[in-house]
Chains A and B, each alone.
Chain A
Amino acid sequence: MREEDKERGYDFHKASHTETMTINMGPSHPATHGTVKFFLTLDGETIEDIDVEIGYLHRAFEKECEAQKWNGVFPYTDRLDYTASVLNNVGYAMAAEKLIGIEVPERCKYLRTMISEMARMSGHYTNVGAGALELGALTAFIYFIEARELLWDLIESICGARLTHNYVRIGGLTNDLPDGFRENVKRVFAKNRKLWDDFDIMLTKNRIFLDRMRDTGGISQKDAIAWGFTGPCLRAAGVPYDVRRAQPYLMYDRMNFDIPVGSTGDNFDRYLVRMEEIKQSMSIVEQCLEQMPEGPINVDDARWRMPSKDDSSTKMEPLIFHFKQIIEGQSIPAGEAYQAVEGANGELGFYLVSNGGGKPWKCRVRPPSFALTSALPLLVKGSMLADLIPTFDMINLIGGECDR
Chain B
Amino acid sequence: MDSIVSLITQPLVLELLITLVKIGFILGLTIGFFAPMLAWVERKQSAIMQDRVGANRAGVFGITVIGLLHSLADAIKLIFKEDFIPRGAERGLHTLAPVIAIIPSLVVFAVIPFGGQYTLWGHEVNLVIADLDVGLLYVFAIGSLATYGVVIAGWSSNNNWSLLGGLRASAQMFSYEVTMGLTVIGLVMFYQSLSLVDIVAKQENFWHWGIIWHFPAFVLFLGCAVAENKRVPFDAPEAEAELVAGYFTEYSGMKFVMFWTAEFLEMVSISGMCVALFLGGHHIPFVTQKFLLTAFGDLLGQDIGAVVVMLIGVGVFITKLVILLVLQMTIRWTMPRFRYDQIMKLGWKMILPLSLCWIFLVGVGILTGVMPRP
Contacts and interface: CB of A to CB of B under 8 A. Distances in A.
Interface of A: 21, 23, 29-31, 45, 132-140, 142-143, 146, 202-203, 206, 208-209, 211-212, 384-389
Residue of A133, A134, A146, A388 contacting most chain B CB atoms (<10 Å): A134
B266 interface: no
B129 to A, nearest CB: 36
Nearest to A146: B51
Given A136-B232, A386-B236, A209 B336 contact: yes
A63 to B, nearest CB: 34
Interface stretch (B131-139, B301-309, B338-346): B338-346
Interface string B49-90: 111100000000000000000000000000000000000000
Contacts of A140: 336
B241 A45 contact: no
Contact of A45 (B49, B235, B340): B340
28 contacts: A23-B161, A30-B240, A45-B341, A132-B336, A135-B336, A135-B337, A136-B233, A136-B241, A136-B337, A137-B335, A137-B337, A138-B46, A138-B333, A139-B46, A143-B50, A203-B336, A206-B335, A208-B233, A208-B338, A208-B342, A212-B336, A212-B337, A212-B339, A384-B341, A385-B164, A385-B242, A386-B242, A389-B242
Contacts of B50: 138-139, 142-143
Interface string B18-36: 0000000000000000000
A203 B336 CA distance: 8
B9 interface: no
A199 to B, nearest CB: 12
A389 B241 contact: yes
Nearest to A388: B242
Contacts of A23: 160-161
Nearest to B47: A142
Contacts of B236: 386
Nearest to A216: B339
B239 interface: yes
B169 to A, nearest CB: 13
A139 B241 contact: no
B244 interface: yes
A67 B266 CA distance: 61
A140 B160 CA distance: 30
Nearest to A32: B241
Contacts of B232: 136
B334 interface: yes
Nearest to A23: B160
Contacts of A21: 160
Contacts of B161: 23
B278 to A, nearest CB: 24
Contact of B339 (A29, A31, A137, A387): A387
Contacts of B339: 211-212, 384, 386-387
Contacts of B342: 208, 211-212
A139 B168 CA distance: 25
Contacts of B333: 138-139
A388 B164 CA distance: 15
Given A203-B336, A386-B242, A136 B235 contact: yes
B51 A142 contact: yes
A206 B241 contact: no
A30 B337 contact: no
Nearest to B168: A45
Contact of A202 (B334, B337, B341): B334
Residue of B161, B242, B333 contacting most chain A CB atoms (<10 Å): B242
B248 to A, nearest CB: 14
Nearest to B51: A146
A134 B168 CA distance: 18
Interface in B159-188: 160-161, 164, 168
B55 to A, nearest CB: 15
A134 B333 CA distance: 13
B346 to A, nearest CB: 10
Given A45-B168, A384-B339, 5 more contacts: A31-B241, A135-B241, A137-B335, A211-B338, A212-B336
B244 A136 contact: no
Contacts of B241: 30-31, 133-136, 389
A218 to B, nearest CB: 15
